């Protein structure tokens, strides 16, 4: 699988400017042969836009999702991004997966972080489902979700080989630990790949940690972005390259064996 992950500058601009950036970056990723391009949490509005996020939220059949699906269809590339969606239960902080010539997939963030998010969104209640990109079984989580080992483990047990995580991680010592340590550990303990994509820079409310990365089953960060600038990460991954890691660290196989005893 060829992956393109885009760490966006928080000062990219309004929703129109952000869509223009996503449109250009998607075309560029496709021209380089990427199978999937990934953007941060709430990439279409910016994470710190406050009540404007709710005001701009559309349903899944609105023009924003239609445009993302059009990009996926036109370029033959999967587009994964965070955005707010209006559902029957309220506005959710969602990850949208637009797959070429398929119905879009939506996952609503289950673990809302802090009073800011809890005032804006309704938490999701449905686990992330699996889908396929370039022959690999994939799933999505959103930001804080990945910090809960249960959320990643349930996807790995279900068969996920790679988990995409749009995020908006505010800068702090603890946030650096999450990006540099926890995310690779989640990949290692579940023997999967994790694509973790943050904002960088500042908006009116928050400064962001950056440090987006693609983590591998052996706990390494195949590639990582800096903490202070826009960045595009590219990687080619093959599950077979990490067969030895699975032999040495057979966590999922041991769990399955334990259940069968």
Active site residue ranges: 41, 109, 143
CA distances, 68 to each of 8, 26, 105 (Å): 17, 10, 12
Q: Using an 8 Å Cβ cutoff, are 192 and 156 in contact?
A: yes
Residue 192 host element (H or E): none
CB 41 within 8 A of CB 166: yes
CB proximity list for 97: less than 8 A, separation 6 or greater: 78, 79, 80, 104, 105, 106, 107, 131, 140, 164
**Residue 114 burial (C-beta neighbours within 10 Å; 0-12, 13-18, 19+):** exposed
Contact 37, 25 (CB under 8 A): yes
CB 186 within 8 A of CB 194: yes
Give the chain's radius of gyration (CA, Å).
Answer: 17
CA dihedral 201, 228, 165, 112 (to 10 degrees): -40
């Amino acid at each position: 699988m060829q992956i393109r992950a885009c760490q966006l500058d928080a000062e990219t601009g309004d929703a129109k400017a952000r869509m223009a950036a996503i449109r250009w970056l998607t075309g560029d990723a496709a021209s380089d042969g990427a199978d999937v391009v990934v953007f941060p949490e709430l990439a279409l509005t910016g994470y710190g836009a406050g009540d404007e996020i709710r005001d701009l939220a559309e349903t899944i059949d609105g023009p924003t999702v239609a445009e993302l699906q059009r990009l996926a269809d036109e370029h033959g590339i999967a587009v994964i991004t965070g955005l707010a969606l209006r559902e029957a239960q309220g506005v959710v902080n969602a990850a949208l997966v637009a797959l070429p010539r398929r119905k879009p997939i939506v996952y609503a963030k289950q673990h809302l972080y802090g009073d800011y998010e809890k005032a804006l969104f309704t938490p999701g209640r449905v686990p992330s489902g699996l889908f396929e990109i370039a022959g690999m079984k994939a799933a999505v989580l959103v930001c804080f979700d990945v910090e809960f080992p249960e959320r990643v483990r349930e996807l790995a047990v279900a068969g996920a080989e790679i988990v995409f995580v749009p995020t908006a991680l505010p800068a702090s010592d603890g946030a650096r630990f999450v990006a540099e340590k926890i995310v690779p550990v989640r990949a290692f303990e579940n023997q999967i790949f994790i694509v973790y994509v943050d904002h960088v820079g500042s908006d009116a409310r928050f400064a962001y940690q950056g440090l987006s990365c693609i983590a591998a089953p052996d706990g390494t960060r195949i590639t990582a972005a800096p903490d202070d600038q826009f960045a595009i990460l590219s990687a080619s991954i093959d599950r077979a390259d990490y067969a030895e890691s699975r032999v040495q660290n057979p966590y999922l196989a041991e769990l399955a064996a334990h259940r069968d005893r």
